[in-house]
Structure 1
Amino acid sequence: MTSITKSAYSDRQIVAWFRGLYTVALADGHYDPEEQELISQLTNDLADFDDVKSLETITPEELAASLGKDPETAENFLRTCVLVAVADGVCSQPEYDLMQQFSNTLEIEVEALKSLEHTLYKPEPQETNAGAASTLTPPKKSKSGVDVLHPVKDWLEGMEVKDHRLAKFVCKVIPPQCPFERDINLFGRKVAHIPPLCKLNPLYEQFTMLRFRSLSYLADDCGEDVTKYIK
């Protein structure tokens, strides 16, 4: 099978795109394992570009200048920003604010993105130590039982995969199966159970669908062997 390179975006756009995702990953100052893995993949993927020596953050103005202001491109970029922001199951206020800044500078308004505001984890300073890192308090659940993330879920499912570099990135950062479920045993007795990521991440089903679309695109449209992404 011959692999076919398909690029919907220029090298300049992809570099700016990955720098934007890197900036989102660093926005809240919390370096969870999932976010560390994202940063590692971004760094590795940008190594293919000769003019990029290291991954750097990017301002909204720089992003717009390189990415352009095509609405479809902007929406797909923002969708991947959500993927990065909610990689650990949490969307923080700084990450949300940055995505809104990107959205404004790209001159696009995504109503669905605003639904994330209802599920933010907000930092609270440690009372006992003014210099300590802030902790995260969970968002309040809807009393009516309405899925407040329904708009952003529908919006994420509308993403079209049409660039082999982004498709590979999605396949790398979204695990092939729901990970991390395990029991913690002590002296032969189960003392705790850690639920799988799909129980922790409210957008896991949408991410899984995006991964499937990316795999299908690489296999069917690009003729690439995707077995390395499904093991």
Structure 2
Amino acid sequence: MTTNCNSTEYTDKQISAWLRGLLTVAYADGNFDREEQELIASLTQDELIPNTDLGNLEIISPQELAEALGDDAHTKENFLRTAVMMAIANGVYSKQEADVVHEFQSALGLDLEAMKSLEATLWHPEEQKTGEAKNPDLLQPVKKWLDGMDIDDPRVARFVCKMIPSECPFERDIKLFGKKIVHIPPMCKLNPLYDQLVGLRFRSLSFLADDCKEDVTPYL
């Protein structure tokens, strides 16, 4: 899709590494479910890298990611923001996902207070069954950090619009061999950063509609 955006777009090499980084996060907890596969596939084939087959994508090492993304701090932070979004999309920031994100953060040379607050608050969701954080103020740095993501590339904007649903997803049961193995509440109730994700989605929609003059109806 061609846009009229006067934007700073990432190179194909950066976008390919970006997507492989997200795939690495998705694989981290061993639960790369059908919905995640379909999301990555649609983004690969339709928006980000049309000539890349999902089957050819492989996980990426932190060093390879850092080399591909380059030295621009803005680019590196925006990638890390989307990596965090991938990790917390279901409201649970597992230790496996956190470890991968931390390795990416270190390789990219980023020292972010927001990441420390996220790790301290979300690594052990079983301790927060009541939905109350140990200290609500702990989340303020990561909320501010996610709110600070600039949208200046149409492919990233489309990724955000596709990854973050337009409405709070319904609760659902995950079944294996016909037996329920886990119950997932609605994401808006489970994820304490849901408002930040929705705000990011709105900014992405506005960028596509106002700056790129794209029809955003498919994302509504």
Q: Which TM-score tier does this pair reach, normalised by the shorter chain? A: 0.7 to 0.9
Alignment partner, residue 208 of structure 1: 198
Deviations 1:194-219 (A, max 9, x none): 85321111111000000000000001
Alignment partner, residue 13 of structure 2: 12
Alignment partner, residue 211 of structure 2: 221
Alignment of 1:126-165 (within 5 A): 138-139=126-127, 142-143=133-134, 145-165=135-155
Cα pair 1:3 1:224 within 8 Å, conserved:
yes
Alignment of 1:41-52 (within 5 A): 41-44=42-45, 45-49=47-51
Q: Residues 157, 228 of structure 1: CA spacing in aligned structure 2 closer, same or farther, 3 A cutoff?
A: same
Q: Distance in 2 between matches of 1:208 and 1:32?
A: 22
Q: Distance in 2 between matches of 1:197 and 1:51?
A: 30
Cα pair 1:35 1:87 within 8 Å, conserved:
no
Residue segments in structure 1 that go unaligned for 5+ positions in a row? 123-136, 183-193
- The letter of the residue matching 2:121 is T
Cα pair 1:34 1:88 within 8 Å, conserved:
no
Determine if the alignment matches structure 1 residue 171 to structure 2 residue 161.
yes
Q: How many residues align?
A: 204
Q: Residues 228, 149 of structure 1: CA spacing in aligned structure 2 closer, same or farther, 3 A cutoff?
A: same
Alignment partner, residue 26 of structure 1: 27
Alignment partner, residue 189 of structure 1: none
Residue segments in structure 2 that go unaligned for 5+ positions in a row? 173-183
Alignment partner, residue 79 of structure 2: 77
Give the TM-score, by structure 1 length: 0.78
The percent identity for this pair of structures is: 56
Larger radius of gyration: 1
Alignment partner, residue 132 of structure 1: none
Relative to total residues, which structure has the larger helix share, 1 or 2? 2
Q: Residues 226, 29 of structure 1: CA spacing in aligned structure 2 closer, same or farther, 3 A cutoff?
A: same
SS in 2 for 1:149: helix
Determine if the alignment matches structure 1 residue 196 to structure 2 residue 189.
no
Q: Distance in 1 between matches of 2:108 and 2:17?
A: 13
User: How far has the Cα of 1:148 moved from its partner?
Assistant: 2.0
Give the TM-score, by structure 2 length: 0.82
Cα pair 1:46 1:52 within 8 Å, conserved:
no
Q: Distance in 2 between matches of 1:88 and 1:51?
A: 26
Q: Residues 53, 34 of structure 1: CA spacing in aligned structure 2 closer, same or farther, 3 A cutoff?
A: closer
User: How far has the Cα of 1:35 moved from its partner?
Assistant: 3.5
Cα pair 2:91 2:190 within 8 Å, conserved:
yes
- The letter of the residue matching 2:109 is E
User: How far has the Cα of 1:94 moved from its partner?
Assistant: 1.4
Q: Residues 142, 229 of structure 1: CA spacing in aligned structure 2 closer, same or farther, 3 A cutoff?
A: closer
Indicate the RMSD between aligned Cα atoms, in angstroms.
2.6
Q: Distance in 2 between matches of 1:51 and 1:86?
A: 26
